[in-house]
Amino acid sequence: MSSCSGIKPHDDSNTSLSYLGTEKTQWRDTINKSYARADKKDTIMLFGGTTILQDKLMMAAVRSLGENYVALPNPDFESFRKGKAFGNRGQCNPTYFTVGNLVKYLQNLQKETGMSSEEIVQKYLFVTAGGCGPCRFGMYITEYRKSLKDAGFEGFRIMSFQHNEGIFQAENDEESINFSPTFFITMIKAAIIGDIINLLTYKIRPYEVEKGSTDKAVERCYEILANAFMQKKNLVLAMWRCRKVLEKVTLDRLQPKAKVMVMGEFWAAMTEGDGNYNLHRFLESEGAECIPQPVMNRLMLSIWEAEYAAKKVEDLEDKEMKNIDFSNIKTKVMIKLAKAAVKTYFTLYAKAAGLHDYEIPNIEELSKLSRVYYPLDAEGGEGHLEVAHLLESVKHNLSHLIISVKPFGCMPSSAVSDGIQSLVTSHYPQANFLSIETSGEGAANFYSRVQMALFKAKQLAKEEFEALEIPEHIPEKLNNYLYQPKSEKAGTAAQLIDSLKS
Ligand code: SF4
């Protein structure tokens, strides 16, 4: 069992409890290394958990390094049910969806191929991000092991890298997997590219004239990008080719649609499926445009958290006149390099694909915005980001509605959504804010609450648009997604008309 504190776990694995006359054995998380393993060349590495496009792009990207990776399908309600059946009680919703998704995949694999559990355990392993929490995130890997054992896959390998230490630390089975800097840089490039195409998709799809044309164009973009990764071609050029594909989608952008910022707990806000009742697609079908949360935001928050922790160590050195901690200096240098690399890649790829009005969030600035409401020392979940997103949206008029998705059983998101955000909205009563829980059950209630909040947002979008003077001649450029003018209006249609006034 990995330990964030460095303390070795208790290893009396056979502690027994007497309960109502029956003997129960306490389950303990141990790594059994005595199972036979397939050769590295025959080992298949499973992973997943970002958006549909990003999972597919990451698969192509790491396969280009010669690794045998397979992305799991998007988690669905069946995954959730398996997670509940095999997992511990009282876990948060993303735990059930993601853990159950792996169990479901392995059970289906067994049915389809006739492989025995032992063969699957030898041949497959799962790669995921791990961390200390302090929420249930710190328990994910243990949950995977426990559920897999109960589902009949005892000894199945779960490999992790620390989400907030990235390339600096890895717990792994080095015979089977190599978490090298090249591996992480390749994964990050795929994640950034996926974010950019996703952001563009959410800008384009609500305004498409022919239904389904955006999805078709995005599928073509995926082919171009996967091919570029596999053939080790220039990715900037590949993004430029995607721009040409996306430009061909015919748009009618002068529809005053409600703009909805979807934020909240990282996985619940980002996933595109049953994990949040297909929230993004539902909003679009109800006539809204979404602002999604890119995976990059979580990565930048993790980098900021590492930087914040290094700064605290530095302050301690000053106060107590301790010897200079050179490992801390090295950490700070690595953080600066990581930030610079992420920003450079993002800017290059975004420019090539034609995403002009989006910048990687400055987490330090956002922390200044939110620290009045949120103590920055409190880690867990999205930290201060949820508060910052709400404040940013209200102060800069970024959307007509802000939806915070909080998974059932999530401690950090519930504290922020139900506690701190109530104070924020009492100070900013103009905010149209909806905090909504995803439980994996009760979709009807979820949708009706979203529809109620959306009704007001649609009215706001319409009023904003109708207050503008619509010129007789509408320039063609307005219907090209590459035209992204700066404006104080929230809605896309209002922004476009507003940009013509000068
Ligand atoms: S932030 Fe919430 S939902 Fe996410 S892992 Fe932690 S407890 Fe679970």
What does each of the 502 residues of the chain score in pLDDT, given as a tens digit?
334 444 444 444 445 555 556 677 776 776 655 555 667 778 899 999 899 999 999 999 999 998 889 999 999 999 999 999 999 888 888 999 999 999 999 999 999 999 999 999 999 999 887 766 677 777 788 889 899 999 999 989 888 776 555 433 334 555 556 678 888 899 999 999 999 999 999 999 999 999 999 999 999 999 999 999 999 999 999 999 999 999 999 999 999 999 999 999 999 999 999 999 999 999 999 999 999 999 999 899 989 998 898 888 777 766 555 566 667 777 788 888 888 999 999 999 999 999 999 988 899 999 999 999 999 988 888 889 999 999 999 999 999 999 999 998 888 888 888 889 999 999 999 999 999 998 867 889 999 999 999 999 999 999 999 999 999 899 999 999 999 999 999 999 999 999 998 6
Q: Are 181 and 167 in contact (CB under 8 A)?
A: yes
Ligand 1 centroid to 173 CA: how many Å? 26
User: Alpha-carbon distance 357 to 259, whole Å?
Assistant: 15
3-class secondary-structure state, position 403: strand
User: Alpha-carbon distance 400 to 460, whole Å?
Assistant: 7
Pocket of ligand 1 (CB under 6 A): 92, 94, 135-137, 265, 267, 381, 407, 410-413
Q: Report which residue type is found at 205.
A: R
User: Alpha-carbon distance 371 to 385, whole Å?
Assistant: 10
Ligand 1 centroid to 177 CA: how many Å? 27
User: Alpha-carbon distance 323 to 269, whole Å?
Assistant: 43
Q: How many CA atoms lie within 13 A of 326 on its CB side?
A: 0
Closest CA to 359 of 350, 370, 369: 350
Ligand 1 pocket mutation pick from 144, 301, 406, 413 by most atoms within 8 angstroms of CB = 413
For 443, which DSSP code?
H
pTM over 0.85: yes
Q: Which atom of ligand 1 is nearest to the CA of 381?
A: 1
Q: Which atom of ligand 1 is nearest to the CA of 94?
A: 3
